Amino acid sequence: MVTLIRTTVELVNRRNLEKKNVGFVPTMGSLHQGHISLLEKALSEFEIVYFSIFVNPLQFAPHEDFNQYPRTLENDLNLIAASLKKFPGSEVVVFAPKDSAEVFPPQNDQVISVEGLNNILEGAVRPGHFDGVATVVHRLFQLMRPNRAYFGLKDYQQYLVIKKMVKDLVLPVEVIGMPTIRENSGLALSSRNQYLTPEEKNEALTLSKSMNELASVINHKHENIKIAQSKLKRIKEDKRWNYLEIRDAFTLSEDISHSKKIAILGVFQLRETRLLDNLQVELQ
């Protein structure tokens, strides 16, 4: 069964009556198989899963695509219902607030800022973005009170921000990172892929191919990182890169001299569409 809730009052009343543990999947809608993989993981672990569909205005800068971001609630609900058929007897409670005031009441000016992770890489390109992410996730955690919450690792920096927020604030929720779901071509699934022409989708493969090339050069060996960094500099001569970096996978520090695992993170831009991806590589 899929239950749709549009107001915070109704959500809180429903949650207060819940006797079972619940999982939670926060999204901005325009669902694809990446989101569905999170839902199905949650449904494999909980009979009741809360699922939010909310385009969060706090994580968009004034010049970004908040108003153009695709809103496809009816189709999203159909995808959820189809997925739910694999889990007889389970329920998905969908919170799709009718407006932003349901999540952020007037005069509510609380901001959650995860220092150290919020202003580098994607945070440097999009100032304030991760404050918006952390603030909305914290608010949704307050409303949902989940036992576990599921996030895709495609947004790797976001995942680390949420993990650190939960640790710093001692929140009683376990954050689960789920593998990136890709098209057969290797392109990471994203709601923004629909903005691309067929030619641009082919060009977008530069992102995953470049990361795989760097990972192949590193080959799990510390001594190969300098070679990979030289190759990375050549790759970044293409001005369509917003950034392409090799960082520590746990802290996103630039100092990877003692790292046991590294992350290759990048954003490749085609016209106004920014495509984000990453790979993690264990080091020997």
For the chain, what are the domain ranges?
2-178, 191-282
Active site residues: 35
Residue 177 has pLDDT above 80, yes or no: yes
Model pLDDT for residues 246-274, shown as the tens digit of each residue: 999 999 999 999 999 999 999 999 998 99
- Tokens 């990048």 sit on residue: 266
Say what the pLDDT of residue 192 is. 86
User: Could you tell me how far CA 266 lies from the centroid of its own chain?
Assistant: 14
User: What gap in Å lies between CA 39 and CA 43, rounded to an integer?
Assistant: 6
Say what the pLDDT of residue 127 is. 92
User: What gap in Å lies between CA 207 and CA 144, rounded to an integer?
Assistant: 35
For residue 35, CA distances in Å to 161, 168, 182 come to 19, 27, 12
One-letter amino acid for residue 210 of the chain = S
Say what the pLDDT of residue 108 is. 76
3-state secondary structure of 195: helix
Confidence category of residue 236, pLDDT binned at 50, 70, 90: very high
Say what the pLDDT of residue 110 is. 86
Model pLDDT for residues 63-86, shown as the tens digit of each residue: 677 777 778 899 999 999 999 999
Report the pLDDT averaged over residues 86-103.
95
What spatial distance separates the first Cα and last Cα of the chain, rounded to whole Å? 47
CATH number of 191-282: 3.30.1300.10
Say what the pLDDT of residue 181 is. 95
Q: Residue 23 belongs to what H/E stretch?
A: strand 22-27
Model pLDDT for residues 106-145, shown as the tens digit of each residue: 877 789 999 999 999 999 999 999 999 999 999 999 999 9
2-178 is a CATH 3.40.50.1820 domain: no
Q: Which tokens go with 108? A: 């509510």
Say what the pLDDT of residue 60 is. 80
